[in-house]
Amino acid sequence: MSLFDKFKPIIDIRTELDHIGIMPFGAVTEKLLSPTEAIVNGHKVILAGTNNYLGLTFEPECIAAAKTAIEEQGTGTTGSRMANGTFAEHVKLEQELATYFNKDHSIVFSTGYAATMGMASTLAGDGDVIVLDADSHASLYDGVRLSGAEIIRFRHNDAGDLEKRLRRLGERIDNTLIIVEGIYSMLGDRAPLAEIAAVKRRYGGLLLVDEAHSLGMLGAHGRGVAEEQGVEDDVDFIVGTFSKSLGAIGGYCVSNHPQLEAVRFAIRSYIFTASPSPSVIASTRVALRLLQERPQLRDRLWENADRLYTGLQKLGFRVSPEVSPVVAVTIEDRDQAITWWNRLLQHGAYVNLVMPPASPGDHSLLRCSVSAAHTPEQIDCILDAFAVLENPANPAASGNV
Amino acid sequence: MPEYNEFITRIHKVLQPFVKPEIELTEDSELVNELGLTSLQVMTLIEHIEDDLDISVPLNILPDIRTIRDLANALIKLT
């Protein structure tokens, strides 16, 4: 027996991948050519597995703001928001987020993980109850485990099952936090938030929604699924990230509850870490403004999502339940998923390989995501790479190339 | 309020489709190590039991449930 015994399953998979000469996890991006193109593991590819939904990572205005911030404020804050790490720009970004979401209060975190994990671990505690969607992100599961609350999960996107769970709680509903996501990261399916909000109105509890994958994509102002489904007033806490549609790194929580200002002083992932670097805050502030000024980015994103989704469907792949900027192809056989991931790379498309337990269910996923920065021609190139896989007459499909 | 033996019978009934027919279920059968259930199958099993008994099983207690007996005892506490 040793401490390392529990890592044997991981070691076994790594050995297996080494043996076949494919390492999909931690593929190295050697050079970025644009928001949508790079050299990955030696192959020039179209990036179809990032979360760069609005394609803002190389936006000149964002880059200029980040450069200026570095020159004026240095490369890092070197301290916690609670100590020396709150610069005027952190406060400005919090105000801008609150204004954008029409909420009174806002907290900026150093990562999206710190935001979701921090809120999930802090809002509920001993004696409280958390009811969360079964397919919630790992950061939410980590948070609820740390909270000390009783954790109950409900079937994914099933408002009826949520209702049963809330009914069973009786008076404990007063101490209950409900957690769901807007768009789910693996399959790109969106929550039936109007139904979930209706259940919450009927039974009670507080509702937290993680809009990490829906910020900038849905709703008249891009505020996410809550805006799209007209239930923003029912959502007590919205959390999200700067590392996807805003092209940087960091996280946030917005709320109308004045108690958020007290909660801030209790969130360990906010207190015991350095605050976001000045350049990150600067580019995020510009990106948040551009997100509002350029609704056409949203339109382009959905056109690309539709083009990829319907294209993959026509090719006969088993795609996610609905059109979304995340389009996942489900593959039953894990080894085939690994081989296909590698074939796609060789044919010029980088996608994410997701295997159980990271994928929902027993199957593996080739998870694609689109960007507003993709051209229709690039989407077609991604489809061409998939077409090679699907055609059994082509030697590339069998893995013999 | 169902008794212990009734819980065992209910668990066996719900569990049967998840295990090979030749495997005999006993109270000491371990769900993961012996019956080979994946974590996903354990969660599906729990969902069936929750529907059956109209209860919610908190995730917090799952690490302490290894055998069918552990599960029956946990259910007694929850009902």
What the block records as the tokens of A98 is 């609150």
- Give me the sheet containing A176-181, strands edge to edge: A105-109, A251-255, A237-241, A206-210, A176-181, A129-133, A150-154
Residues of B in contact with A152 (CB under 8 A): 56-59
The predicted structure's pLDDT at residue A390 = 63
Kindly report, residue by residue over A129-157, the tens digit of the pLDDT: 999 999 999 999 999 999 999 999 999 99
The predicted structure's pLDDT at residue A393 = 44
Residue A132: beta bridge partners? A153, A179
A152: contact with B, CB 8 A cutoff: yes
Residue A400 has pLDDT above 60, yes or no: no
Residue A394 has pLDDT above 60, yes or no: no
- Among residues A185, A243, A283, A324, which one is catalytic? A185
Q: Does domain B4-78 have CATH number 1.20.120.1760?
A: no
By the 8 A CB rule, do A127 and A175 touch?
A: yes
What the block records as the tokens of A352 is 């994410």
B68-78 vs B4-15: helix crossing angle, rounded to 10: 120
Reduced to 3 DSSP states, what percent helix, strand and coil does chain A have, rounded to the nearest 5? 45, 20, 35
Tell me the mean pLDDT in the region A257-281.
Answer: 98
Residue B61: beta bridge partners? none
Task: Tell me the C-alpha distance between A128 and A136, whole Å.
Answer: 19
Kindly report, residue by residue over B28-77, the tens digit of the pLDDT: 999 998 888 888 889 999 999 999 999 999 999 999 999 999 999 999 99
> Which domains occur in chain A, in start order?
3-58+295-398 (3.90.1150.10), 77-276 (3.40.640.10)
Task: Tell me the C-alpha distance between A148 and A151, whole Å.
Answer: 9
The average confidence (pLDDT) of chain A is 95
Q: What secondary structure does DSSP assign to A193-255, as a single string?
A: HHHHHHHHHHH--EEEEE-TTTTTTSSTTS--HHHHTT-GGG-SEEEEESSSTTSS--EEEEE
The predicted structure's pLDDT at residue A392 = 47
- So where are chain B's domains? 4-78
- Among residues A244, A269, A279, A371, which one is catalytic? A244
Q: A374 by DSSP, 3-state: which? A: coil
Residue A396 has pLDDT above 50, yes or no: no
Is A152's CB within 8 Å of B43's CB? Answer: no
The predicted structure's pLDDT at residue A391 = 55
Kindly report, residue by residue over A208-247, the tens digit of the pLDDT: 999 999 999 999 999 999 999 999 999 999 999 999 999 9
Tell me the mean pLDDT in the region A104-109.
Answer: 98
Q: B71 by DSSP, 3-state: which? A: helix
Is B59's CB within 8 Å of A357's CB? Answer: no
Is A152's CB within 8 Å of B38's CB? Answer: no
Which backbone phi and psi does A164 adopt, to 5 degrees? -60, -45
Tell me the mean pLDDT in the region A268-277.
Answer: 98
The predicted structure's pLDDT at residue B1 = 57
Range with the poorest average pLDDT among A55-59, A183-187, A371-375: A183-187
The predicted structure's pLDDT at residue A387 = 95
A279 catalytic residue (yes or no): no
The predicted structure's pLDDT at residue A18 = 87
Distance from CA of B34 to the nearest CA of A (A): 18
Task: Tell me the C-alpha distance between A305 and A299, whole Å.
Answer: 10
By the 8 A CB rule, do B72 and B11 touch?
A: yes
What the block records as the tokens of A286 is 């510009």
- What does the angle CA A252 – CA A257 – CA A259 come to, to the nearest 5 degrees? 90
Residue A399 has pLDDT above 80, yes or no: no
* Residue among B40, B47, B58 whose CB faces A362 most closely: B40
Task: Tell me the C-alpha distance between A186 and A301, whole Å.
Answer: 18
How far apart, in Å, are the Cα atoms of A1 and each of A9, A11, A162?
15, 16, 42
Kindly report, residue by residue over A273-312, the tens digit of the pLDDT: 999 999 999 999 999 999 999 999 999 999 999 999 999 9
| Band (A25; pLDDT cuts 50, 70, 90) | confident
